[in-house]
Structure 1
């Protein structure tokens, strides 16, 4: 299956080294990174290492994409480690339905590839992400306290699951 996903407004493609500047702008933004699994990136080298891990991930276990809009990188969506889906969108693009559009396309791709499920781990304070996943038929399975240490803060998790098997 192609390494590119096209939607009405977006092109989702594999990460490239030249994505680092746009991704660092997003990943150094405290608003964008509020519920991410790490604090905002203060050094470009941190984003470079993160991007290199995305580029070098084993395709047998990873299906991750950079989201582009009009040729500009505005975030990422996919599974760095299948079947766990994650996404990060530039706050300047929030509220336009782009995350929903990208997620729908990714779900369709994973369904076409025969995946059984997708999973998500979300900070319970991240209401917009929880609502987005629920709109795409993810169902909460359970909650666990103290699952992530981000900086000095211990964060909780809401776990969700989407069954992709045909009914």
Structure 2
């Protein structure tokens, strides 16, 4: 299996490596960075386990989960973490987190485009969806800017910070992506 490497105008997605743990901890261990995510800040041990699971998922056959490091184009350091998990019916769910220092720069929309390129162009999917916290309006704007459509609300979707929380869902279909015409994405991948 060829490792995933997708490049956009400013960002690239690559496979997670053991050396990414500290940079991932700077995101997943940060209360601000995880405020709207579906989990509370992680410990170093929990982040090491995420790194190990990400590497194991890359070697699974068949591969159903793509946990990838987000980097600046031409750089190797992880500035975010992206995930695409395939589902039955040629579908997948996506999610991502960027380091707070990278917020507000349009990198979220580019990350979504890269994940859609992986899903539609490489994996041949029909539908990709994402969910966000109702309070994370910036994420909603990002998903819409990336070409997704708001679908609705899942009530009491996740239990986080001691309470049930709804999620707002978004999706994009292959035919919408094909006619989107955004971003020239380059990459290689097999499997």
Same fold (TM > 0.5): yes
C-alpha deviation, 1:29, in angstroms: 0.8
1:83-128 CA-to-partner distances (Å, cap 9, x unmatched) read 0100000000111111222221221232212210101121111111
Does the alignment pair 1:25 with 2:30?
A: no
C-alpha deviation, 1:147, in angstroms: 1.3
Does the alignment pair 1:144 with 2:154?
A: yes
State how far apart, in whole Å, the 2-side matches of 1:89 and 1:139 are.
22
Does the alignment pair 1:158 with 2:168?
A: yes
What's 2:47 paired with? 47
Out of 104, 115, 125, the position equivalent to 1:95 is: 104
State how far apart, in whole Å, the 1-side matches of 2:161 and 2:102 are.
26
State how far apart, in whole Å, the 2-side matches of 1:158 and 1:75 are.
22
State how far apart, in whole Å, the 1-side matches of 2:25 and 2:157 are.
25
The one of the two structures with greater contact order (alpha-carbon pairs below 8 A, sep at least 6) is 2
Does the 8 Å contact 2:54/2:66 carry over to 1? no
What's 2:76 paired with? 71
Root-mean-square deviation (Å): 1.8
State how far apart, in whole Å, the 1-side matches of 2:76 and 2:63 are.
27
TM-score (norm 2): 0.79
State how far apart, in whole Å, the 2-side matches of 1:81 and 1:56 are.
16
State how far apart, in whole Å, the 2-side matches of 1:50 and 1:80 are.
14
Does the 8 Å contact 2:28/2:34 carry over to 1? yes
Q: Indicate the SS of the match to 2:144.
A: helix
C-alpha deviation, 1:71, in angstroms: 2.4
- 1:111-122 alignment to 2 at 5 Å? 111-113=120-122, 114-122=124-132
State how far apart, in whole Å, the 1-side matches of 2:4 and 2:117 are.
14
C-alpha deviation, 1:47, in angstroms: 0.6
Does the 8 Å contact 2:3/2:14 carry over to 1? no
Structure 1 portions without partners, runs of 5+: none
What's 1:107 paired with? 116
Q: Indicate the SS of the match to 2:6.
A: strand
Does the 8 Å contact 2:79/2:98 carry over to 1? yes
**Structure 1, 95-104 or 118-127: larger mean CA deviation:** 95-104
